[in-house]
Structure 1
Amino acid sequence: MEVNGVVLNMWVRDKLKIVNVICVMFVFGFEFAVYAESAIPNRYVVEVEFKTTADLEWLEDNGFSVDSVEGNKARVYIPVDALGLLEERGMYPTIVGYDPMPLEKTPPGYHNYAELTSALQQLANDYTSLCRLMSLGQSVQGREIWALRITDNPDIEEDEPEFKYISTIHGDEPVGTELCYLFAKLLLENYETDPRIKFIVDEVSVWIVPLMNPDGREAVSRYNANGYDLNRSFPRYPEELNAFYYDGGYPYLEGRQPEVYHIMRWSMDHNFSLSANFHTGSLVVNYPYDDDGGPSGVEAPTPDDALMKWIATQYAIHNPSMYSSSQFPGGITNGAAWYVVKGGMQDWNYRFLGCIEMTIELFNTKFPSGTFIPSIWNSNRESMLSYLECVLRGVRGLVYDRNTGEPIWAKILVKDNAQPVFSHPRVGNYHRLLLPGEYDLVCVKEGYIPYRIFGVVVEDGLATRRDVPLSNGDVNNDGVVSEEDVDLVVNGALGLESESITDVDGNGVSASDIQAVLNVIEGRDIGLFP
């Protein structure tokens, strides 16, 4: 009887699975014939119950995209032939949708690719003094990945922080595209009349990429036209993500999906300090790390954990539904504590470029009716402004060669914090986001004496400015570092020379300056923090 019972249970389960598939096909109008013509492979969207977080990692390791987790339930995108694999694992899937979504089932009230292109071009034409529209490159199917730059001098790279909003890396999550467009309109249309917005546009280089996955958006699919989940397609930690770009980290651009390649190349060419990418399917601000090698459900804090929680809260606190979440206290979560994502965009930005990026889930429904857009915009408008304004906090300045005045691409470190930031290679400006407090910083560049910026007080407001005139030890600017330079620094310590000339390490003229120049002559390393 026990054997027969097992056989009967298996028979019943198989029949239920068939009924489930038939029901879903009925709901979606028997669309498999339409899907077969798409370049994007057919997939089910399923809900599963998992026993342990090891099941979540098994899903990701097998190429299935975990989309959301609540309690012991996960929503997952799987190939249509993978139902049996999940059942063998003991996770019995309930089919809740298809990918791609049938086009006639797509809710109205959204820009498609052509309409978005026209709308962005209109903004660029109407506000020529404030914005530029450019393509970062083309998608698999040849659609442009548009980027809108909004700032007071859009043709000039200035001493100002760079910020970016990116949306719809998953093509079936277009709410963020609409919010990015509305946000661009908000900045441009209110520049002349709203002092707050004018200050943002004057002081920040704002970049908006409203549609990273245009092919997926047109097909109403999570994936790009090659069938890749783009938010699993960035370099992975630790095998491909183990050093900063500045420190010689290999970018691993080759073999990337076109959309990922263009975003990576563009980000590497700039110096973004803060970023966010928009999704739907939940309601939360997700901050790094998404993956530090540990399991799902366990916090994976960065060196900037307290800062990230504060920045995430600046978004969530202005969105009442998000902030009052019963699943996520305060409307925020550490990425890995929710579920591990490997090959995601936000960790790549932080680990490779030093840019803080967060993943913002805007609405519990993946693709709601367009009639919800005005209310979603009202819930997120202040959040988007407040989050952006965080880029203006901390410590900022210019790094330059004290003899030539030329900008320098350098690394800025904070004492007792392993995470660096970097100055802009063409402008020399750096922007280190920090919470209010007192900090010791040091700026380093090969071939130059480390410059110490000690006792910097960061207020609860705009960034404290500390410029960095780096010296290679050539105090008299004769082209060589020699005993004559040592003599000048000695005289400076004795009060016989100008302090501005002989303070080569930023810590006031002292014996440390003499030792620093001697170390340059003798080829010895110079300590960063005493």
Structure 2
Amino acid sequence: MAHLNNSLFILSLSLIFLQFFHTAVARGGQRDPGFVDIPYAASRRHLSEENHFQKLNALARGYMTNSDLEKAIKAFHGRCRHISRIYSIGRSVLGVPLWVMEISNNPGKEEAKPAFKFVGNVHGDEPVGRELMLLLANWLCDNYNKDPMATLIVDNVHLHILPSMNPDGFSLRRRGNANHVDLNRDFPDQFFSINNDIDERQPETKAIMSWIKDIRFTASASLHGGALVANYPWDGTKDKSKSYYACPDDEVFIYMAKLYSGSHYNMSLSKEFDAGITNGAYWYPIYGGMQDWNYIYGGCFELTLEISDNKWPPANELHMIWEYNKRSMLDLVASLVKSGVHGRIFSSDCGYPLPASIAIKGINYTIKSSETLADYHRLLAPGHQYEVVATMPGYKTRTTTIVVKEELMTLDFILEPEITIADRFLPNRCVSRRSLNIFAVISKSHMQVSLTLILVLAFLFFLMKRKAIVNHFKVRKLIRQRRVSAV
């Protein structure tokens, strides 16, 4: 009995010790292997990994397997087809499809609306996001045209939800993917030349990067576990120091992080993080992270959300965690159409949309309007005055001063062309410019088809011409023969 009590006492101390240190490594801090003898450490590590896997396997009861998740995604689409579509952005190392649910009143159509994405399960042993993504999708479906927030989001945003970026890590019960790579360290970095080799990147990372090229996301959030905080860029520093390192849109990210934290049940009450938010580099720096890459290369404002102190809480706590985070998730998506400045850019002489650039004076960050609809969506912190600058090669720059409040602001730009000497001699400048634009579109999306068609027509023309020439000589030969016989 005494032996049993001693064992329970030691187990309790171990759990307290692990609980004390779990937040320090929540975002992937590396531990020093120390001076332990390597063969002994290897055998102990093997036993530890087996025990860890068994514990997580037990905790996974009640969570969806990868197969369950795919079925749940398809079932959601089956009953919510009127406001959704599902598609895969690629496959994991082990070939599991990376399924995405798009929720909108016009899913799959290009519209002058902002797009938001949620990404869950970046780390395989942080599965809470997988579950919350399905709960969010089904809540929006159930409450569309019933709840004002659900209706606002579905009608005005294209919401894309990737429940699991790392299905292999989930099934293997480990942080990295099947190749033991931490996917939140696998993106190109702004300070150091890591991950620059395209061939070395993981398929899951490549899928995210291609996704960003295909869809112009305004904002994004990835869901993690192991702490309770809204984390924002920059995630690293030039000198690798642990210090606050602000990105150009620091005020906007603070606003977004506080919006999530303030709507959460208890995130803003954190004793570890002021207001429940943190600058990534100030917490501890990482390199090759997804949120910095999104902002720099994708024009997308991304937060890293730590939504549960426990990385793998028991399944019976998932509904409570959903209730704690539901309002925050909805408010973050709705902020795309409830704040910032949005609009389209047109040509004054011809009236067609222009793929121009939008900048804010004093902020070193530029976004572009879309190629076809010329819509732009610029997130800005409310309560400030901004000078919005629209620029387009061949057109005069336009600047407008606005005051952003916590409400939708629409600002369209009409740019005047810079008249050149060549333009003055054109009979109809708008027609010529539109023709050039049409040719540009064709050259981008249909060049191969167009070239094939031109070659086919040229070949047919050649055959017809050849036949005509042959017939001509035959006729001439026949005429000569007749003349000879007539003589």
TM class, shorter-chain normalised?
0.7 to 0.9
Deviation, structure 1 residue 428 = 1.7
CA contact (8 A) 1:113 1:218 kept: yes
Shift of 1:239: 4.1
Selected match of 2:385 from 416, 433, 438: 438
Match of 2:58 among 94, 98, 105: 105
Asked if structure 2 preserves the Cα contact closer than 8 Å seen for 1:47 and 1:76, the reply is: no
Contact conserved, 1:135 with 1:144, CA < 8 A, in 2?
A: yes
The C-alpha deviation readout for 1:442-468, integer Å capped at 9, x for no partner, is 1223x3324323122322211x21222
Identity of aligned residues (%): 34
Contact 2:118/2:222 (<8 A) preserved: yes
- Maintained 8 Å contact 1:346/1:358: yes
Letter paired with 1:435: A
2:286 to 332, 338, 341: 341
Q: State whether structure 2 residue 139 is matched by structure 1 residue 186.
A: yes
Q: CA deviation at 1:406?
A: 4.5
> After superposition, what is the alpha-carbon deviation per residue over 1:12-70, rounded to whole angstroms, capped at 9, x for unaligned?
xxxxxxxxxxx99xx9xxxxxxxxxxxxxxxxxx9999xxxxxxxxxxxxxxxxx8428
Counterpart CA distance in 1 for 2:207 and 2:356 is: 24
Distance 2:27 2:365 in 1: 32
Aligned counterparts of 2:193 and 2:374: Cα–Cα separation in 1: 28
Q: Tell me how far 1:147 sits from its aligned partner.
A: 0.8
| 163-172 or 383-392, which deviates more | 383-392
- Work out whether residues 152 and 334 of structure 2, in 8 Å CA contact, stay in contact via their aligned partners in 1: no
Instruction: Give matches, 1:215-254, under 5 Å.
Output: 215-239=168-192, 253-254=198-199
Q: Distance in 1 between matches of 2:189 and 2:106?
A: 36
Q: Distance in 2 between matches of 1:210 and 1:218?
A: 14
Cα distance 1:150–1:285, how it changes in 2: closer, same or farther (>3 A)? Answer: same
CA contact (8 A) 1:441 1:453 kept: yes
- The alignment status of 1:456 with 2:402, answered yes or no, reads yes
Supply the distance in 2 between the matched residues of 1:97 and 1:318 (Cα, whole angstroms): 39
- How far did 1:484 drift? 9.9
What does residue 236 of structure 2 align with? 291
| 418-427 or 379-388: bigger deviation | 418-427
Aligned AA (1:255)? E
**What's the secondary structure of 1:306's corresponding residue?**
helix
- Going from structure 1 to structure 2, the CA distance change for 1:254 and 1:397 (only over 3 Å counts) comes to farther
| Cα separation, partners in 2 of 1:85 and 1:473, compared to 1, 3 Å | farther
Indicate if the aligned counterparts of 1:296 and 1:338 stay in contact, CA closer than 8 A: no
TM-score (norm 2): 0.76
| Cα offset, 1:109, TM superposition | 1.5
1:153-186 CA-to-partner distances (Å, cap 9, x unmatched) read: 0131101101011011101100011111101111
Q: Distance in 2 between matches of 1:74 and 1:409?
A: 38
Residue identity matched to 1:438: Q
SS of 2:190's equivalent in the other structure is coil
**2:305 counterpart residue number:** 360
- Give, in angstroms, the shift of residue 74 of structure 1: 9.3
The whole-number CA distance in structure 2 between the counterparts of 1:283 and 1:295 is 24
1:526 corresponds in structure 2 to none
Give, as a single letter, the amino acid of the residue that structure 2 aligns with 1:125: G
- In the alignment, which residue of structure 1 is the partner of 2:325? 380
Change (3 A) 1:345 1:430: same
Distance 1:387 1:169 in 2: 19
Computing the radius of gyration over CA atoms, which structure comes out larger, 1 or 2? 2
Q: Match of 1:165?
A: 118
**Cα distance, 1:433 vs. partner?**
0.8
Greater share of residues in helix: 2
Q: CA deviation at 1:471?
A: 4.2
Name the counterpart of 1:481: 423
Flag the 1:383–1:188 CA change in 2: closer, same or farther, 3 A: same
2-structure distance, mates of 1:452, 1:481: 21
Q: Quote the residue 1:417 is aligned against.
A: 363
CA contact (8 A) 1:402 1:470 kept: yes
2: CA distance, partners of 1:74 / 1:127: 35
Q: 2:344 aligns with which of 369, 373, 398?
A: 398
Amino acid at match of 2:98: I
Cα distance between partner residues in 1 of 2:418 and 2:426? 11
Structure 1 unpaired stretches of 5+: 1-22, 28-45, 50-66, 89-93, 242-249, 486-530
Q: Which residue matches 1:323?
A: 268
- Name the residue aligned to 1:389: 334
* Whole-angstrom distance in 2 between the partners of 1:222 and 1:414: 39
Distance 2:313 2:230 in 1: 19
TM-score with structure 1 length normalisation?
0.70
SS at match of 1:101: helix
TM-aligned CA deviation for residue 427 of structure 1:
2.8
Measured in 1, the distance between the counterparts of 2:104 and 2:161 equals 11
Distance (Å, rounded) in 1 between the aligned partners of 2:356 and 2:196: 18
Unaligned runs of at least 5 residues, structure 2: 1-9, 39-43, 428-487
SS of corresponding position for 2:165: coil
- Between stretches 385-394 and 464-473, larger displacement belongs to 464-473
Q: Which of 106, 130, 147 is 1:153 aligned to?
A: 106
Aligned to 1:516: none
The aligned counterpart of 1:134 is 87
Q: Which of 303, 306, 309 does residue 254 from structure 2 map onto? A: 309
